[in-house]
Amino acid sequence: MKKGPGKAVSGPLAEGWKQALMNEVEGREFYRMAAANARLDGVRQMFTFLMEEEERHREAILEQIGRMAEGKPARLVRKAAGKREIQKFRSPLFTPEFVARGKNAEGEAAALSIGMTLEKRAIEQFTALRRKVKGDAEAEKVVADLIAWEQDHLKLLARQYEQFREMYWEEARFWPF
């Protein structure tokens, strides 16, 4: 992070932002690896989109830390394009033919599961951060927006995971009940 004019950022809120920043960096790098290893173009596009989203989160958090250092209130603007772009990943990205290949598909399933874990962790940490900023309406809104952003990612991954799992079970002729 660049050093410049402004006061040092410290305290519980600053620590929350720092942890959130690390989460976004870790998520970005995970999605970069998942995209590089994805075998289906649609899955690669989804992981690339999530990687770019994590980078946007990282930049937003850095902006919040900078605003704190300058004594300015929190402010976050989520571009409408990101909200619209996530919609293109609604349909199943996995084809029955891909799932039928068995072991070739298991890496994608694992990546979806790990991605869901990362998003859940981010939601939990932003929820804890929201408690720390209670009473600061602008900061509460910023954190609530970040939570909503992460929840959108979790829903996307969970939807793809469930669709994949159903196809995988069907291919294996496994029905839980």
pLDDT in tens, 97-147: 655 555 556 777 888 899 999 999 999 998 998 898 888 888 888 888 889
What's CA 140's distance to the chain center, in Å? 19
Q: Report the range out of 13-17, 26-30, 89-93, 96-100 with the highest average pLDDT.
A: 26-30
pLDDT for position 1: 46
Where do we find the tokens 């919040």?
A: 64
Asked whether the predicted pLDDT for residue 17 surpasses 90, the reply is no
4-12 contacts: CB < 8 A, separation 24 or more? 5/70, 6/66, 6/69, 6/70, 6/71, 7/69, 7/71, 8/69, 9/65, 9/68, 9/69, 12/132
Asked whether the predicted pLDDT for residue 6 surpasses 60, the reply is no
In this prediction, residues 148-153 reach a mean pLDDT of 89
pLDDT for position 159: 86
pLDDT for position 43: 81
